[in-house]
Structure 1
Amino acid sequence: MDQVKFGTELISRLMDHLCSRLDGCEGAGLSVWPEGTLLRAVGVAAELDAEQLSSGAGPLVDASRDERQVSGQVAGTHVLAVPGSWGDGGPVVLTVYLSHAPTVEDLAAIEEVEPLVATAAAVVEFCAGEVLRADQMVRMVQHRRYIEQAKGLVMGARPCTPGEAFELLVRTSQHANVKLRDVATALVLTVGGTLEDSTDDVAAPPDAALEVAERLWEALRHLRPE
């Protein structure tokens, strides 16, 4: 069996399951920052995720920017924000809203379900809801590896956090109207001369992405510490 069907229904079921496991859960959301997209919301997450996306501040934004789990309060409601997979628009962040500060039991339940939600979201984003073939799964994983490598290159050229490096890549791709995955792959190829673990199934980045990557790396080289 070389294909499996993923979709938003799977994400919805996983999030509903998570909420049912948490006492005092008032909602859960799945959002993308810095793109600012609310993918799925249950309960108060529809309003509170949207508020953070609009203002560009809050645990959701901090979790995306710093690539770490962040807890806090939004409009008097306790929230735990957990960054997961990365797409062209930014990290996918799972937010869970509770009537109380997160307990050890809450954290355990969230840590168990969050990887499943993040993986499902990554698959849906990458394949736009189509049937996913095995080779597409391989390419999805490879592209995300190149995004991580590209972030490392940016961080090596300028003092910044992983989140700030990712935001720079996102801004670059959006400004040039080139997919983030192509910019990242092109940057790795530009700097390293080859793609690690590349196979015939991995398409070379388009010329537009290579041009963007070359300009970006030239700019970053001037910022590298001596």
Structure 2
Amino acid sequence: MSVGIVVDERRGDGGVLFTLRGEIVHGTVEPLTGVLTRVPADAGSVTLDMAGVTYMDSAGLAFLRAVDDFQRRTGIPVRTVHWSGRPRRVLEFTALDDDGAPAPGPSAAAREREELARQLEEEVEQLRQALVSRPLIDRATGVLMAAEVCTAEEAWGILRETSQRANVKLRLVARAVVRSVDGPPPEEPVLSALRFALLRHRRT
């Protein structure tokens, strides 16, 4: 199915919205760009909604060049929105932004990949910290079980409450508890939070 104009309406702000559906391939560019001749000379802007465009090959670049020529010739700004799938990847591979102009920096898709990579790196770091912290937390749990004659679940609850009340990472609370066995007691605010958590446990 070739690209067709589905909606052509003047918006309240004087702009024109074209909604496109189908494929941008050889033979569709000329009639597609021809619809721009229907734009009133006094239009404030043109928006091309690309959500329904399911496929675009190199012919799409000719379409974008025609759109750019239209902007330069008429002075009417044209926006393309809602790129997705293969058409968006074509933009990415050709280093164009969502409006089909040369991107001044990384494309939107590239920025999305960078953000996903950053999130994955954070998750990996969190998992690494968890693996490193687990033995320490288990030792602290054992210390509290022996000192308070409580279950592992109760000892875990004391550590977690201490961490939350002191606003200190759980592994740092665990380290302070383990060190207190043969060394000085935990420093503030961990000490106060730990005392409060222990008192609550002893009252239950």
TM-score (normalised: structure 1): 0.28
Structure number with the bigger relative contact order (C-alpha 8 A, sep ≥ 6) is: 1
More strand by share: 1
